[in-house]
Structure 1
Amino acid sequence: MKFKGIIFDLDGTLVNSLEDISDAMNTVLKGLNYPTHTYDTYQYFIGSGLRNLVSKALPASDNNEEQIEICFECMIETYREVCTIKTKPYEGIIELLDNLALQNIKLAVFSNKADELTKKIASEIFPDYFDDAVGLSTEALKKPNPFEAIEISKKWNLKTEEILFVGDSDIDMQTAVNANMFPVGVSWGYRTEEELKTSGAKVVINNASELIEIL
């Protein structure tokens, strides 16, 4: 089958945002005199949305819903100001998107990052590449719920099996499977190749240009 569209995850797939996310969360933690975490630790906090990341970053002694909500609001405010300072596209991504645009492949972003921030990063770092950039607006629609991915396929008037879903995490691969899209894992993100394959990846690519071969 000829694939006609690609939905990309954002963090760990298109952009390396680890340092901006980590710095923002550590700023919040320092302000509350809580212990901070290393970039390596935050690598395993990313993927299920910022609220989930906040919960994982807080000390167990203060990990209650009230404190999570307070810190989440602080995190959003802090991260909004720094979300494109250190965040950069991975090697080969811009060239890949240029190539896909020439082939008239439909392109979108679907992230568990807050919708406002997803749109901000996608528009500032990748202007004019994506038909849509969708982030998390309702907790119930968070990946691996395939609802937003399927909605994108409807906007494109494509069958779900005509779409590649590209991501770096087990959650992305589960989303692809749930949406009946072709799951492609990337090895340069925040999870291991083994995790990706176990979660349903049919292919794991090691550089951006390999995606063209799949098409």
Structure 2
Amino acid sequence: MTYKAVIFDLDGTLVNSLSDIATATNTVLANNNFPTHDDQAYNFFVGSGLRTSVARALPAHAQTETEIDRCYDEMMLIYNRDCTLTTKPYSGIISLLDQLKAKGIKLAVLSNKADALTKKIAGEIFPDYFEIIQGLTTEEFKKPNPVVALQMAAQLGVQPNEVLYVGDSGVDMETAVNAQFHAVGVLWGFRPKEELLATGAQTLLHNAEELLELL
């Protein structure tokens, strides 16, 4: 199969953003006298949008819609300011993007992170690589709903079977399956191999360079 485009997830795939997310969320938790969590716990809080990660971080008795909204708003004030303090590309990602771009492969980012933040982080860290950078604008269309992913493929001028979708979570693999993309799971991200395989990963990557073998 000839692949003409690669759509990447952002957090846990292109960048390690866990510490910035954890710090912003823990600050809110501490300010509200709620228990905080170590960074490792956030591996399983993230992946379905920042509001959901805040909800998962709250103690059970505080997981009301009102409290989630309030803490999410507080977290976003901090995270908007500090979202790139420690967030960095994973090893080999810049080289991979350079090689994909040299091959004429169309590149895009699709994240469940809020759209403005997705554009800010991807735009600052990876200038001039991606034709489309898309984050979450409508809760209804959050991954694994494939609607936005398929719209992006159409914008890139490719068919679904010409797209590699690269992510680190079950949500990403389900998105790829739902869109009929080739599902590529990365093993350097936030979720374990077992989750990726159980949700439809067709290829697993141990390092960024291995993606080139699919091309």
Stretches of structure 1 lacking an aligned partner (at least 5 in a row)? none
Task: Find the aligned partners of 2:105 and 2:74 in 1 and give their Cα distance.
Answer: 38
Task: Find the aligned partners of 1:10 and 1:137 in 2 and give their Cα distance.
Answer: 15
1:5: which partner in 2? 5
1:170: which partner in 2? 170
1:157 Cα deviation from its structure 2 partner:
1.5
Residue by residue, what CA displacement relative to the aligned partner does 1:109-153 show, whole Å, maximum 9, x if unpaired?
000001110000000000010001111111111000011110111
Structure 2 residue matching 1:209: 3-state secondary structure: helix
1:83: which partner in 2? 83
Structure 2 residue matching 1:190: 3-state secondary structure: coil
Asked whether 1:51 is paired with 2:51, we answer yes
Aligned AA (1:66):
T
Task: Find the aligned partners of 1:170 and 1:20 in 2 and give their Cα distance.
Answer: 22
Please list every run of at least 4 consecutive aligned residues from structure 1 whose deviation after the TM superposition is greater than 6 angstroms: none
Task: Find the aligned partners of 2:102 and 2:145 in 1 and give their Cα distance.
Answer: 31
1:129: which partner in 2? 129
Task: Find the aligned partners of 1:86 and 1:66 in 2 and give their Cα distance.
Answer: 30
1:30: which partner in 2? 30
Task: Find the aligned partners of 1:57 and 1:194 in 2 and give their Cα distance.
Answer: 23
Q: How many residues align?
A: 215
Stretches of structure 2 lacking an aligned partner (at least 5 in a row)? none
Task: Find the aligned partners of 1:123 and 1:91 in 2 and give their Cα distance.
Answer: 18
1:103: which partner in 2? 103
Structure 2 residue matching 1:191: 3-state secondary structure: coil
TM-score (norm 2): 0.99
1:63 Cα deviation from its structure 2 partner:
1.1
Residue by residue, what CA displacement relative to the aligned partner does 1:150-173 show, whole Å, maximum 9, x if unpaired?
011111111011000000000000
1:188: which partner in 2? 188
TM-score (norm 1): 0.99
Structure 1 residue matching 2:2: 3-state secondary structure: coil
1:59 Cα deviation from its structure 2 partner:
1.1
1:112: which partner in 2? 112
Percent identity over paired residues = 55
RMSD between aligned residues: 0.6
1:139: which partner in 2? 139
Structure 1 residue matching 2:135: 3-state secondary structure: strand
Asked whether 1:40 is paired with 2:40, we answer yes
1:70 Cα deviation from its structure 2 partner:
0.7
Aligned AA (1:151):
Q
1:31 Cα deviation from its structure 2 partner:
1.2
1:76 Cα deviation from its structure 2 partner:
1.2
